[in-house]
Amino acid sequence: MTKTRLQELRGLVDRDTGGTVLSVFARTDPRDPENSSEHPGWSINLKNGIRDATASVGDEHEAHQTALKLGAEAERRLHSASAAERGRSVALFLSADGSIDEFHTFQIPVRQGYVTFDSGPVVWPMVDVIDRGQRTGIVLMSNDHIRLLEWFDGNAHDIESSTYDLELGDWKEYRGAARANPTRGQQSVVNSEAFKDRVKEWRNKFTRDCAVSIAEAADDLEFERIIVCADGELGTEFEAAVPDSLRERLIDIIPVNLIDQSANEVADHVDERLREDWRKAVGEVADQALARIKAADRGAGGADETLLALGEGRVSHLIFDPYLDTKADVLSDGARKAIEDAGEASIQEALVELALRTDARVSSASVDEVPALAEAGGVLALLRY
């Protein structure tokens, strides 16, 4: 997660609302079979979620009326939004005092619909989407053209002034007279090999210059990873030219030419590869955390131990199962105090908000995606010290 996104989320969870806040997450993905009917599944789940969340508020009249009002407004907002505005998932935050009114569209679906009332925004499902959709640079290459796209939260778009074209200057294929041959008349020859050599030399320089420019753009735009789509030798040439500052973020070179595809078409093409990279990266971190725990070296496992480490600001990367079902009453006094200090009702939200406030990266994954979580009660963490 970039520093900018981290600051935005921290600002959201720390905002002083002075009243009830409704947090809604709807899985509006039109690819889901349940969303293809006249009454889409996301709409039914939203209605049921608001009903259950309102019932949990209690019988106090004013609180109940506030919940009903916020729930009705949430339904109105989502149903009046266009399909494009709903994307593949939506996060909506509404506060009773009007201080929070945020609508976020993602092209990565939330794991499942979720509705809750709390004293502040509940953001862990949103953090999960952001981590899976981490900011990525997509480099598209052809023989004489390079495009740089930005991808995050499942959305892709071209970056202004980030298209590079090969210019051959005055180089051209030319004809000249061959040396005289005493056995026959003078003949004409095409100096195509010299031209090809010059083009290759210029193209190599073009690729090197573009690699440097893209590395600079990657730093400025806070790209967390880079993926290249290039047919033939182009990808290899680009990889060889990549500066060290970018090399560690280069996750793959896909042998395909997508230079003329729209940004959305490119995003669909690389979607599965980006998801695979996320699963692999999070799984490696989880395995590393588990190995550290077994070696008693800067690793934490389980909700109790991890909450204590978060409270002390020692966590650098938190990984937890979003379906975690640990009850607070089985935790130690220190862990329960950490949840209380976070001001949250759920362990998931307490874990996430404590991590956000201490600049720790957060990833959530099921035990099917990251098997190591099953060995640690659904929570793992790399520690700073």
Euclidean distance between CA atoms 53 and 69, whole angstroms:
13
The model's pTM: 0.81
The residue segments making up the domain with residue 309 are 278-383
Same domain, 339 and 231: no
- As to burial, measured by CB atoms within 10 angstroms (0-12 exposed, 13-18 middle, 19+ buried), residue 176 is exposed
Same domain, 82 and 192: no
Q: Which residues pair with 136 in a beta bridge?
A: 151, 225
Share of the chain above pLDDT 70, in %: 90
Question: Residue 18 is part of a domain; what is its CATH number?
Answer: 3.30.960.10
- As to burial, measured by CB atoms within 10 angstroms (0-12 exposed, 13-18 middle, 19+ buried), residue 215 is buried
Question: Residue 197 is part of a domain; what is its CATH number?
Answer: 3.30.420.60
What count of other Cβ atoms lies within 10 Å of the Cβ of residue 118?
Answer: 17
Strands 21-26 and 89-95: antiparallel
Report yes or no: 88 and 29 within 8 Å, Cβ to Cβ. Answer: yes
Place of tokens 């009830």: 20
Of 231, 261, 291, the domain-final residue: 261
pLDDT in tens, 12-26: 888 877 789 999 999
With a cut of 50, list the residues of the chain below it in pLDDT: 168-181, 183-189
Cα angle, residue 276 at apex, residues 214 and 159 outer, rounded to 5°: 25
Is residue 107 domain-resident? yes
The pLDDT assigned to 14 comes to 82
Of 81, 116, 132, the domain-final residue: 132
Number of compact structural domains in the chain: 3
